[in-house]
Amino acid sequence: MKWEKLKPPEPDDPMCCCECDIYQYGCCCDCEDLDEAFSRWLKGKPPKSGCQSPVFGALMQNLEISLIPALLLLPLLLRVAALHYLLGIIILTALPGLVLWYYYATHRKKRRTLFFLTLALYSLAHMYYLFITEILPRGDVSQLQLFSVTAGMILTILSLIHTKRGPGFVSASLQEAHSRSQETEKKDSEHLNGSVQSAASSSESKPQTLTAKWSRCPVCKIMRPPRAGHCRTCGSCVQRLDHHCIWINSCVGQANHRSFLLTLCVFLLTSVYGISLVLCSLCPRQYLMTALLYCPGVYSQSSTALCFTCAWYSSIITGGLLYLLVTQVLNISFNVTEREAQLALRNKTGQSRLWGLVVDTREFSRGFYQNWVEFLTMTDASISLRSSLTDLV
């Protein structure tokens, strides 16, 4: 499925050449904005209001430039932040604001972007590079500790790759497989009952339950299972849609929710352990809890100042992902997805609990233990339906 680069068009919208991944001249698109811009330029008419050239603006929207800011600005900003602690406070405070601004800018356009995934992977690689080149030569890190950090890095990347395999998209074949399984179960029940009247009553009740549980997506125009949702960023319906995660550039759904949670856990453990090793090496006389706030003499050398600034940068990222992990664990405990929680708040059908960290819809919850059992044992519906049909045949 070639939806990795840009947001696919809606089913009723005409496909533009710049939205097709296999078109080799996608950046030289003939869409309306570019046509109008060149037409005005050829006729000598003044461009529309705005300081930016419309031709340049149309081209920049179709080019993938989201890799450049993360690869160039991050090391430069960290180097500048390491010059003085006041610069560090200003830059590390402004960085989350810039990231949030870019998120809302791309979120309004409902388009996929590689910026956040690139920023996450490059930050991980850059922190590990500084750990190897600056902290390891100081002699305070043992081989076992180095092996633990490296293993955590590798496990994080492997679990991220497994998460990126797909959230479990809803397709037309899934609804057909579900219909065939329902028909097979109905025939088996008719054969076991051996009664014509019971078979007639079951044939009347089965379609009612089928239409009651499955709903038609107004965008995809296909039948989708319960708790599935349409992601306008990916342009597809996802089984048990939780949310679209910008950091992995993919949706989190029924097929990859467990691996997404595993990625968060492994990354947080590795990050906390790596930050503790860096602080113990830079501030050996300080307690670990206070070293991040007060470490005398750390700005005397550029290398130690850079490592200390990166420790603060990693702590900010770790704090944000820790909040995400807590909300995910609470949602699983109440058997509610992030999408269902937002819909419940919008429709005023849910109740906020634990200081607003979770929304209890009381629709699918069966208790703490059963909710976690359901989460840990759920599988992709398309795979489970195929296997059940194979077993029945």
Residues recognised as catalytic: 245
Q: 79, 128, 374, 92: which is closest to 254 by C-alpha?
A: 374
Distances (CA, A) of 264 to 41, 156, 300, 317: 50, 8, 35, 12
Residue found by looking up tokens 């979770």 in the block: 358
β-bridge mates for residue 252, sequence order:
243
Which residue is it, tokens 């180097």? 79
Read off the amino acid at residue 192.
L
For residue 225, the one-letter residue type is: P
| Residue with token string 């194979």 | 390
Quick count: other Cβ atoms within 10 Å of Cβ 5?
14
- Residues 162 and 259 sit within 8 Å (Cβ to Cβ): yes
Q: What is the gyration radius of the CA atoms in the chain, in angstroms?
A: 26
Which amino acid would we find at residue 310?
A: C
Q: What is the DSSP string of 199-247?
A: HHHHHHHHHHHHHHH-EE-TTT-SEE-TT-EEETTTTEEETT--EEETT
Q: What DSSP character marks residue 300? A: G
- Cα 195 from Cα 193, distance rounded (Å): 5
